[in-house]
Structure 1
Amino acid sequence: MKVELVQLAGRDGDTAYNLQRTLEAIRRCAVGTDLVVFPETQLMGFPTQDTIRRVAEPLDGPSVQAIRQAADERNVAVVVGLAEAADDGRFYNTTVLVTSEGVALKYRKTHLWASDCGVFSPGDRYATTVFKGWRVGLLICFDIEFPESARALGQLGADLIIVTNGNMDPYGPTHRTAIMARAMENQAFAVMVNRVGEGDGGLVFAGGSAVVDPFGQLLCEAGRGECRLAVELDPAQLLQARRDYSYLAQRRLQLPGQPTEQTDGRRELIIPS
C-alpha cells in the first residue's frame, strides 16, 4: 500500500482555510498513491466551548463531501480529522476514512485530552474495516498513550493503525516512543500524522509524523515543518513479524467486550459502560 503523510499547519476555527489546503494536498498526491493521511481535527482546527457549535459539521456535511469528491477525482482514500456534530446533539473529535463512495470508517476519540474536555464527548467503541486487502483501524492523538486503545484494534485484527495527531510541545518525544511501542505490541504497521506550527493559546505543535513497521522500527520520520512523506507498506513484513510468535494469541489477559462483525466488513469493539 502506498501512503502519503501530509504534515500541515492549520488555523483553529477556520474551516474554509483548512479545507482548501487539505483539498490542494489531495490533488497533489502522486500517481499510484492509495491513501493520504492528515492530522487531528485537520478540517476545523481545535474548537473551544465558545466555537464548537459554529464549526462542527455532521459527517454528511459540506467539508466531508468535498473530501469525498477530491478522493474520487484522484482515486485515493483520505484519512482526516474533524469536529463532528452528531445526530445525538453531541460533539465528537472524529477521524474518518473517506473513499470515493463516502465514509468507510469513523472513529470518535475515546481518551479526551484536557482541552477536549467540555468541548467533545468521548467515543464508545473501536472499529476496523478492510481497505485494499488491509484491515485498518483509527486512533487519535492521546489515545496512543494508552496501550489498550491500540490493543483493541489489534484484537479486531488490524494490520495498519492510523493515528491522526495534534501533539504539542513538550510531548513530542512521548508520542514518538508510544507509536513505536503500539506498532510492536500489535505486530502491525502504524502511521501517525501530526500538526505543525502554532495554534490558539500559544500552543506549538511538534510535528514528527512517522511510519513504523510491525517490529516497532521507524521507516520514516518528519521534522517540525510542513512536509509530505511517501512510503510503501510491504505486507510481507506483517507475515514476517507474526511468523514465530503472536502477542495477541499468547496474551494472558483480554480486553472486555465481544467484537462484532458488520455486513460491510467493519469490526467493532464497544467499550463496556
Structure 2
Amino acid sequence: MMDDLRIAAVVCRCPVGRLSHNVERTRHWVNQAKNQDATMVCFPEMNLTGYSNRDEIKAHAISANSKTIDSLVKLADDLRIALLVGFAEQAENGAIYASHMVITPRGRTALYRKIHLAPPETDHFSPGAALPIFDWKGMRFGIQLCYDAHFPELSTIMADAQADVIFIPHASPRGQASTKHQSWMRHLPARAYDNGLFVVACNQTGDNQNGLVFPGNAVAFSPSGEIMSTRLSGRSGMLIVDLKADQIHYVRGHRMRYFFPNRRPGLYQRKTVLTDLGN
C-alpha cells in the first residue's frame, strides 16, 4: 500500500510549437514544486509541445527519446522529484500519439499513450493500445488523458490492478475555470468514489496560439469521492495536495464504503438477455 505523498498538479499555459518556452516553464514549475516539498509533479496534457487538434501538430511532435526528454530526466535526477509530462509523440513507426511520460528521480521512464481519442483528435493522432499501471515509492497509479476520463471501464481496470491514484492531465478548452470545474464534477468524483482511489486532475490555461483558450483549473478527490483541494483562479499555478495513506486505508478497510471487492465481473461479461414483456 502507498505511503503518504505530496503531489503538485500544475496549471500552465502551453503555446503550440514553442518547445523551448514550454520546457523552460516546466523547469520553473518543477523547481517550485520541489520548494514546496512535493515528491511528484503532474503537468497538463501535452504541456511540452502544446495541444492542437490540427494537422500542424505533426510538425511539433517529439520523440520519447529526444534531447528534450533527456534534459527532463536529468532535472528529475538533480532535484530528486518525479515528473509526469505530456507531449505529442512522434513514434518510430511514424504514428503520432498524445502521450504522457513518467520520469523518476533515478532516471527511469515509462509512457502512457492516450487510448480514447476525442472526435476532433482522430484525424491527427493514433490511439494507444496499452494500459500500463506504474509503481513508484509504494504508490500504484494510472494516467488518463482528458477524454479518457469519460469511460468508466478504464478506471475500473486500473482499480483492478490495485491503483491507488489516477492522474488525469487535461487539455480541455473553453469556458471559465469554475464552469469547467462543474463539468468535471459530473464524472471525476465518481471515478474516485466507485473505485476507492485518489483522482488528481489539472488543465492547461490561457491562449495556446493555435485557436484554443483553456480555463486553467485543477482538483483532487479523496478515495471517498470528496474534494480535497481545488484551483479555480484561471491563472498559472500549482495545486499542492497531500495524499495520505490513512485516507485510502479507511475506505478500503470499511465494508460498506469499499464497493470494488463486491463486484461480479464474471456476470458482467455474459451477454444480456432481452425479456419481452409485451406492449
Query: Is the Cα–Cα contact under 8 Å of residues 79 and 105 in structure 2 kept in the other structure?
Result: no
More strand per residue: 1 or 2?
Answer: 1
* 2:44 corresponds to 1:39: yes
Equivalent residue of 1:102, what SS?
coil
Q: Unpaired runs of 5+ in structure 2?
A: 270-279
2:68 is matched with 63
TM-score (norm 1): 0.88
* 2:113 corresponds to 1:108: yes
The one of 74, 94, 99 equivalent to 1:94 is 99
Percent pairwise identity: 27
Q: Counterpart of 1:247 in structure 2: which amino acid?
A: F
1:231 is matched with 241
Number of equivalences: 256
Say which is worse superposed, 24-33 or 69-78, in terms of deviation: 24-33
- Supply the distance in 1 between the matched residues of 2:216 and 2:82 (Cα, whole angstroms): 22
Offset, 1:48 = 4.7
Offset, 1:78 = 0.5
Offset, 1:6 = 1.3
Q: Map of 1:208-227 to 2, 5 A cutoff?
A: 208-223=217-232, 224-227=234-237
- Supply the distance in 1 between the matched residues of 2:250 and 2:21 (Cα, whole angstroms): 43
Offset, 1:114 = 2.6
2:81 is matched with 76
Equivalent residue of 1:126, what SS?
coil
Q: Map of 1:66-215 to 2, 5 A cutoff?
A: 66-170=71-175, 172=180, 173-200=182-209, 202-215=211-224
TM-score (norm 2): 0.86
- Supply the distance in 2 between the matched residues of 1:126 and 1:87 (Cα, whole angstroms): 20
The RMSD of aligned alpha carbons is 1.8
Offset, 1:231 = 1.4
- Supply the distance in 2 between the matched residues of 1:251 and 1:200 (Cα, whole angstroms): 46
The one of 244, 249, 254 equivalent to 2:261 is 249
The one of 53, 57, 61 equivalent to 2:58 is 53
Offset, 1:247 = 2.5
- Supply the distance in 2 between the matched residues of 1:148 and 1:104 (Cα, whole angstroms): 26
Equivalent residue of 1:121, what SS?
coil
Residue 208 to residue 53, structure 1, CA distance change in 2 (3 Å): closer
Provide, for residues 1-55 of structure 1, a one-character-per-residue CA deviation record: whole Å limited to 9, x for no partner.
0111111011012111111110121122225321011100000012455323321
Query: Is the Cα–Cα contact under 8 Å of residues 76 and 107 in structure 2 kept in the other structure?
Result: no
Query: Is the Cα–Cα contact under 8 Å of residues 47 and 55 in structure 1 kept in the other structure?
Result: no
Q: Which has the larger radius of gyration?
A: 2
Say which is worse superposed, 102-111 or 92-101, in terms of deviation: 102-111
Query: Is the Cα–Cα contact under 8 Å of residues 214 and 241 in structure 1 kept in the other structure?
Result: yes
Q: Unpaired runs of 5+ in structure 1?
A: 257-273
